[in-house]
Amino acid sequence: MNNKEKFYITTAIAYTSKLPHIGNIYEIILTDAIARYKKKKGYDVFFLTGTDEHGQKIQAEAEASGVTPQEYVDKIAGGIKDLWDLYQCEYDKFIRTTDKQHEKVVSHIYTKLYEQGDIYKSAYEGHYCTPCESFWTDSQLVDGKCPDCGREVKKAKEEAYFLRLSKYADRLLEYYDAHPEFITPVSRKNEMVNNFLKPGLQDLCVSRSSFTWGVPLEFDPKHVSYVWIDALSNYITAIGYDTENPEESYKKLWPADLHVIGKDIVRFHTIYWPIILMALDVPLPKKVLGHPWLLFGDSKMSKSKGNVLYGDKLAEQFGVDAVRYYLLSEMGFYNDGSITYESLIARTNSDLANIIGNLVSRTSAMIKQYFDGVVPAPTSATAEADETLKNAVNNAKEAFMAKMDEYLVADACEAVLNGFKACNKYIDETTPWVLAKDENSRDRLATVMANLVQSIRICTAMLYPYIPSTAKRIAEVFSYGEDAYDYDKLCYCYKVDGVTVNADGAKLFERIDEKKFMAAIEAEQKAAKKEKKAEEKKEKKAEKAAVKEAIGIEEFAKVELTVGKILTCEKVEKSDKLLKLTVDIGEVRQVVSGIAKWYAPDELIGKKVILVSNLRPAVLRGVESNGMILASGGDEVKVVFIDDSVPVGSKVQ
C-alpha cells in the first residue's frame, strides 16, 4: 500500500488552434520541475497536462484547412504532445477535451448546474473577441478593445446560457480572506479583487449556438459548451470525477495541490473555476500559481511581430537541457522574463559549460589520472577547506529546498549554482595537482577527491528537476547509485568510493561561439529577406500581367461577385504585404490579399466583403488563393465592405 502524501499538480491545457511557441512551453517545463522536486522529496505525485480542443476559432481553422475539426485538433494535439515529450516533461496523464469520457462528464456538469438553477437561458448582446473567445461589456473594454489581448472586438448578439457568477461573488471573497495562500503571487489576488470582484461580477456566458464544435447540452442540443466550463473541468474529469459516482482516483487526488497557469488566465482559474466548483459542491484547489510571461527581449512574443521563437528549433540549436535550464533559471516569480539568442548563449557558456561542465570534467579527469579511475575513500583528517565546502553545499541545499517549497524556482536554481561554485572554489584552494606531486599528501588528495564527488552528487541532485538528462549523465560519470539523488540522502555519509569513473563521458556542454552563432542567424535572416524580395518581385510581375485592355459587357458578365464573411485572418509568413483570410461565401474559401499595410488581421474578422469568386487559383508566397477581395487602389487601399444584413453567398449584380 502506498502511504506517501499525494501531490496533484496541473498545467493549463494548451489551446489547439496553433502549435505553441517557447513562451508557452515554459509552463510545462516549470510544472515538470516542480513535480520532479516533489517526487524526490517522497510525494506520490500526479502530474496532469493536455489540450483544449473545442471552440469557434478551431472550427474556423479546420474549415480553412479543408479538414474536420477532429482531424485538425488530432494533428495539433499530437504536435503539442511531441513538444512536451521533446522537453522531457514527465507527466502522468495527457487529457484532451475531445476525450469521450471528458465530454460525457462535462455534459453531466452542465445538466446539474442547469437543474439547480445556477445556469439560465438568456441572450447576449455585447462585444466579442474572436482570438480570446470572450464576450465583453462596454465598461470592460480598454480603449474600445479586448482587455486581455488588446485586439479589435465586434458587436455580437446571441442566445446563450449563463452561469450565475454574481450569486457566488461574496462567498468567493470570503474564501480569499480565509485562504490567503490560494492565489500566488499575492499581486494576482489583488488584481482579481480590485478589477473584477469589487466592481461587481457579470454572469458568465457558458454556451454558444452560432457554431457546433463543442459538447452539446443535454437539455438544449442547439447549444454547445462554451470554453470555460468545458476546459476548466478537465482538472476533475481527468481523475475520475462525475456528478453522481466519482471514482476512487478522484477521491484520492482532489483537491489539486497546485494549478500552474499563465498570469493572463488567472481570472478564469481564481474566479470562474472556484465558482463552478462551489456550485458543484466540490472543494477548491489548494493553490493557483500565476506565472509571468517570457518575452523576446522586452516585447511579448507575437507571430505578427515576427519575434517568435519555437521550442523545436531552439532544442536543435542549443539542446533541450540548455533551453530548460535557461527558462527555469531566468524566469522570476513576480516579473516577466526575457529570452534572446545572446542571453541564452551567455548563460549556457557561463553556468553550464564553465561552472558545471568544467567541474565534472576536471574532477573525473583527476580521479582517472591520480587514482586509476576509481573514486577513493576519504582518509585524512578534515581540514578547514573541507568544512567550508560542506557548509557551503549544505547551505545551498537548505536554500534550494526553502525556495522550491515556495515555488521560487529561479531563486532555487541560483542556490544550486552556488553549490557548484563552492566545488570549483574548493579545487582552486586545495590544488589537487600540487598534492599529487607529493607522495606524503596522498591521503589528503584522496579526501579532496572524495569530498568533490560527494559534493557534486548533492548539487546534481538539486539540479535534477531542472535538467534531468544532464543529471543522469553525471550519475553515469561517477557511477552514482539509483538512490543517489533522493532528497533524504543528501548528506556526506552516502557511500561514493570504490566505484569506477567514466571520465570519457564527462564532456557535458560545449561552449558556443557567439560571433559564429549570430553570424549564422544573420545569414538565415538575410536569406529569408532575399526570398521575400524575390517573391514580391514575382507578385508584382503577376499583378502587372493581370492588367488587361478594356473589356466588353460580355466579358465582364463572366465575373462572379459574391458576398462573403471573413472567418479568420492572419499575416502571411515572410510578407509585410499579404494577409491570408478564410471567407465564407456559402463554402469556405482561402484568399490571399495584399492589404496588410492598411488593415490589421483582427479588424477584418467578421466583416462582409465582395469576393471575385470565379478566378483561377493563384499561389502567393507559397499560399494558395481562391478569389480576390474587392478594394480600391492607389496610395491608400480601402476594402469594399457590405452591410451585415446582406446574406452570405448573395451575388452582386
pLDDT tens digits along 485-529: 999 999 999 999 999 999 887 789 999 999 999 999 889 888 878
CA dihedral 468→470→471→475, nearest 10 degrees, is 140
pLDDT (0 to 100) of residue 115: 97
489 and 355 in a common domain: yes
Q: What is the pLDDT of residue 545?
A: 59
On whether both 393 and 253 belong to a single domain, the answer is: no
Could you list the residue range(s) of the whole structural domain that residue 594 is in?
A: 553-642
pLDDT for 314-336, tens place per residue?
A: 999 999 999 999 999 998 888 88
For residues 540 and 624, membership in a common domain is answered with no
Q: Where would I find the H helices in 372-513?
A: 384-405, 409-430, 432-435, 442-463, 468-478
CB 45 within 8 A of CB 80: no
The grid cell for 119 is 445556469
What's the rounded mean pLDDT across residues 22-46?
Answer: 96
- Output the CA–CA distances (angstroms, integers) from residue 361 to 44, 378, 473, 478, 544, in the order listed: 35, 20, 12, 11, 64
Residue 585 within a domain? yes
CB 133 within 8 A of CB 88: no
The edge-to-edge listing of strands for the beta sheet with 337-339 is 299-300, 294-296, 337-339
Q: Are the CB atoms for 128 and 154 separated by under 8 Å?
A: yes
Same structural domain, 372 and 425: yes
Q: Which helix (H) or strand (E) covers residue 345, if one does?
A: helix 341-347
Complete DSSP assignment for 242-280: -SS---HHHHHHPSPSEEEEEGGGHHIIIIIHHHHHHHH
Domain finish residue from 295, 312, 329: 312
Mark whether 100 and 181 lie in a shared domain.
Answer: yes
3-state percent breakdown (helix, strand, coil) of the chain, nearest 5:
45, 20, 35
Q: What is the mean pLDDT of the segment spanning 260-272? A: 95
Kindly report the CA angle at 129 between 639 and 595, in degrees rounded to 5?
A: 20
The CATH number of the domain where 583 resides is what? 2.40.50.140
**Both 394 and 470 in a single domain?**
yes
Residues 363 and 467 in one domain: yes
Which three cell numbers mark 609?
Answer: 466583403
Give tens-digit pLDDT for 342-385: 999 999 999 999 999 999 999 999 999 999 999 999 998 889 99
**Helix (H/G/I), strand (E/B), else coil: 651:** strand
Choose one of 505, 535, 563: the last residue of a domain: 505
Exposure b/e, 44-57, CB count within 10 A at least 16 = b: ebbbbbbbbbbbbb
Mean pLDDT of 607-635: 82
* Per-residue pLDDT at 135 exceeds 90: no
Say what the pLDDT of residue 603 is. 81
Bridge pairing between strands 258-262 and 6-11: parallel
Contact between 326 and 345 (Cβ < 8 Å):
no
For residue 306, what pLDDT band results from cuts at 50, 70 and 90?
A: low
| pLDDT tens digits along 564-576 | 998 888 888 767 7
CATH of residue 231's domain is: 3.40.50.620
Range with lowest mean pLDDT among 106-115, 151-160, 525-534, 550-559: 550-559
| pLDDT value, residue 557 | 66
Are 208 and 217 spatial neighbours (Cβ–Cβ below 8 Å)? no
Cis status, amide bond into 199, omega within 30 of 0? no
Residue 331 domain flag: no
304 and 355 housed in the same domain: no
**Does residue 568 sit in helix, strand or coil?**
strand
For the record, the C-alpha cell of 413 comes out as 536554481
Mean pLDDT of 195-220: 92
- C-beta separation of 47 from 30 below 8 A: no
Flag the least confident range among 38-52, 105-119, 410-424, 570-584: 570-584
How do 44-52 and 6-11 pair as beta strands? parallel
Give the number of domains in the chain: 4
Task: Please classify residue 173 by burial: count the beta carbons closer than 10 Å to its beta carbon, then call 0-12 exposed, 13-18 middle and 19+ buried.
Answer: middle
Question: Is 154 a domain residue?
Answer: no
Which of 270, 295, 312 represents a domain boundary (last residue)?
312
Residue 72 lies inside a defined structural domain of this protein: yes
Give a yes or no: residue 649 inside a domain: no
Percent of the chain having pLDDT more than 70? 94
Residue 578 is assigned to a structural domain of this protein = yes
Bridge partners of residue 611, in order along the sequence: 562, 629
Q: Round to whole Å and give the CA distance between 5 and 578.
A: 56
Residues 557, 536, single domain; the answer is no
**Whole-number Å distance between alpha carbons of 336 and 292:** 5
Most confident of 6-15, 17-26, 301-310: 6-15
Mean model confidence pLDDT for the chain: 90
CA distance 603 to 624: 22
> CB atoms < 10 A from the CB of 232, how many?
23
In terms of domains, do 290 and 191 share one?
yes
Residues 269 and 234 in one domain: yes
Residue 301 carries which DSSP code?
A: -
Query: What pLDDT is attached to residue 600?
Result: 79
Query: pTM (2 decimals)?
Result: 0.83
Three-class DSSP category at 348: helix
Kindly state the cell numbers that stand for 91.
507527466
Residue 1's pLDDT is what? 38
**Mean pLDDT confidence for 264-280:** 97
DSSP-derived letter for residue 134 is E
CA-angle at 328, arms to 326 and 332, nearest 5°: 110
Report, as an integer, the average pLDDT of 452-461. Answer: 98
Asked if residue 318 is part of any domain, the answer here is no
CATH of the domain at 461: 1.10.730.10
Q: What is the pLDDT of residue 143?
A: 85
Q: Is the pLDDT of residue 547 over 60?
A: no
Is the pLDDT at 543 greater than 60? The verdict is no
Is the Cα torsion angle 469, 397, 489, 453 positive or negative in sign? positive
Burial of 519 by CB count in 10 Å (0-12 exposed, 13-18 middle, 19+ buried)? exposed
In this predicted model, which residue has the larger pLDDT, 43 or 612?
Answer: 43
Query: Band of the pLDDT at 441, cuts 50, 70, 90?
Result: very high
Is residue 127, in this structure, part of any structural domain at all? no
> Does position 621 have pLDDT exceeding 80, yes or no?
no
Residues 102 and 191 in one domain: yes
At 619, phi and psi to the nearest 5? -115, 120
What are the angstrom distances between the C-alpha of 470 and each of 62, 226, 618? 40, 43, 50
